[in-house]
Amino acid sequence: MADVLNRYPGGFMSESSNGSIANLAQSIQREVTEIKQLETRERVGRFLDAARDEEDVIQRYRLIESLFRRLQTGYKCDITMRTHDQVQKQLDTTLLRGMIPVDDSRYNSSYSTTIRRRACTAETREAIHQTLQDWTTNLESEKIYWMNGMAGTGKTTIAYSFCEWLEETNRLGASFFCSRISATCRSLSQIIPTIAYQLAQFSPAFRSKLCAVLNNNPDAGKLNVVQQFEKLINGPMLAASDAIPDSIVIVIDALDECDDNYSVRLLLDLLLKFTEQLPLKFFVSSRPEPVIRERMMSQGGAARSIVYLHDIEASIVEEDIKKYLTEALHPMHPPPSTKHIELLAKRSRNLFIYAATVVRYIYPEDVRVDSNTRLKSMLKAISDPTTIAENKYEDLDRLYTTVLSAVFHARLDRWEKQQMERVLWIVVCAREPTTVATIASLANLSEDQYDINSARIVS
């Protein structure tokens, strides 16, 4: 019995009782060893010490019996505790999942791969990364950090890289990346329950307090934003604050992509009102939409840091775009020359979305194309100085014009162009990602037609 226990000490016991039960097993083993040694003595020795040995063996068997009783009691207690723990964990999981957290909103979810969300290219955006890391680790810094920028300035990519660093340093409490093309990721009513769920995975102390709330009110995740914040974040976090480490950050990206401006205003009001008393920091990124800008620029509430991505020195951003283009187009044979990279970066004019669109057109990852011909076409389109726009977003429009011109070439029949126009309008107007089969159905295309046309458009 002792040999079996010593071979499988972890198979029957919880961590809390491993030490005590293993000690009992070792004690039994020692007594058994002593008895065996007594039984193997030479005959003469055994005859001379027979009386003493008999008493010794009896005492050892009694001790073994006592140890077995204690061992049996320990196992019963351990099994009971393990069963209770397993049932409690299952109950907690049921309560937490009952909040219906949005798993796709996590920065590195499988959905993030679907929509091609990614981190910054190595050695780019270094100044802003350092600023965010300093803000995180400085215990005296503001509790809220608002990073805002116009469309295409790289907010989500920076937020993704920030989350990676936070997770590597065990500081990421939760992340919610909003997305207007996902019904669940653009629902503001899901942000608080999702953050609470992820915090519960991060902190056992917070999980215990949150589950106590959910045990009494399992539908708390379905309440309005104000009640959600109080019951799912503020109350449990204050109760568990002594067990929460310093510099834990909650990341909310692309808040402007949520579909309820009134609730966005309420959420920001709650953060500004309660964040100072919580052992958490909040990083929020968005476009400078009026409803968000108004709240973030107000004088009341928690102190906040603000950075404007579109105001970062153009030369710094252009160098980062060069690094991104060089890495992304390097697999081409041959890769673009330094001169060509510089021309593409200069025409991007601080817009990472422009550079990313150029890359997806010249060297798409999911379809084979003549990348060198596309590069020449792109360079020809942007090399004419008369096409440089005063408004940098006009350059983006012209980039899309170049891409579409390559698709709508003169060799297409009129009816083919009309079919492709219908497909493009459907894609532009759709609020969510749509399958090729669905697009074909809406555009009234036959199966053989949508196979050909979808391949042409995707390429």
CB 166 within 8 A of CB 136: yes
Last residue of a domain, one of 288, 310, 332: 310
Please say if the pLDDT value at position 453 is more than 60: no
Last residue of a domain, one of 248, 283, 310: 310
Q: What are phi and psi of 197, to 5 degrees?
A: -60, -45
Q: So what's the pLDDT on residue 163? A: 98
Helix/strand/coil for 381: helix
The two three-digit tokens of residue 303, written as one number: 């102190």
> Is the same domain home to 196 and 322?
no
- The 8-class DSSP code of residue 139 comes to T
Q: So what's the pLDDT on residue 391? A: 55
Please say if the pLDDT value at position 220 is more than 50: yes
Provide mean pLDDT across the span 72-96: 72
Q: Would you say the pTM of this structure is higher than 0.85?
A: no
> Is the same domain home to 126 and 193?
yes
> Is the same domain home to 178 and 264?
yes
> Is the same domain home to 123 and 253?
yes
Please say if the pLDDT value at position 7 is more than 50: no
> In the Cβ-directed half-sphere of 328, how many Cα atoms lie within 13 Å?
26
Q: What are phi and psi of 176, to 5 degrees?
A: -135, 110
DSSP of 254-300: -GGGSS-HHHHHHHHHHHHHHGGGSS-EEEEEE---HHHHHHHT-SS
Dist. CA 359–CA 37, nearest whole Å: 79
pLDDT band at 383 (very low <50, low <70, confident <90, very high): confident
Rg, C-alpha atoms of the chain: 33
> Is the same domain home to 260 and 118?
yes
pLDDT band at 164 (very low <50, low <70, confident <90, very high): very high
Q: What are phi and psi of 182, to 5 degrees?
A: -125, 125
Domain membership of residue 446 (yes or no) is yes
Out of 57-61, 150-154, 286-290, 338-342, pick the least confident.
57-61
> Is the same domain home to 357 and 228?
no
> Is the same domain home to 179 and 57?
no
More confident residue, 409 or 189: 189
Last residue of a domain, one of 45, 62, 97: 97
Residue 300, phi-psi category: left (phi > 0), alpha (psi -120 to 50), beta (remainder): beta
> Is the same domain home to 149 and 297?
yes
Q: What's the distance, CA 240 to chain centroid?
A: 23
Segment 399-408, tens digit of pLDDT: 677 667 766 7
Domain membership of residue 341 (yes or no) is yes
Host domain of residue 122:
103-310
> Is the same domain home to 177 and 292?
yes
Provide mean pLDDT across the span 167-176: 97
> Is the same domain home to 158 and 299?
yes
Number of domains in the chain: 4
The two three-digit tokens of residue 69, written as one number: 């009783």
CB 28 within 8 A of CB 2: yes
Provide mean pLDDT across the span 141-166: 94
Q: So what's the pLDDT on residue 378? A: 85
Segment 104-145, tens digit of pLDDT: 999 999 999 988 899 999 999 999 999 999 999 999 999 999
Q: So what's the pLDDT on residue 299? A: 72
More confident residue, 413 or 289: 289
The two three-digit tokens of residue 61, written as one number: 């068997």
Instruction: Select the highest-mean-pLDDT range: 23-37, 166-180, 422-436.
Output: 166-180
Please say if the pLDDT value at position 241 is more than 80: yes
Segment 187-196, tens digit of pLDDT: 999 999 999 9
Please say if the pLDDT value at position 78 is more than 50: yes
Segment 23-65, tens digit of pLDDT: 666 776 777 777 777 666 644 455 556 556 666 767 777 777 7
Helix/strand/coil for 74: helix
CB 101 within 8 A of CB 65: no
Domain CATH number, residue 244: 3.40.50.300
Please say if the pLDDT value at position 457 is more than 60: no
Q: So what's the pLDDT on residue 354? A: 86
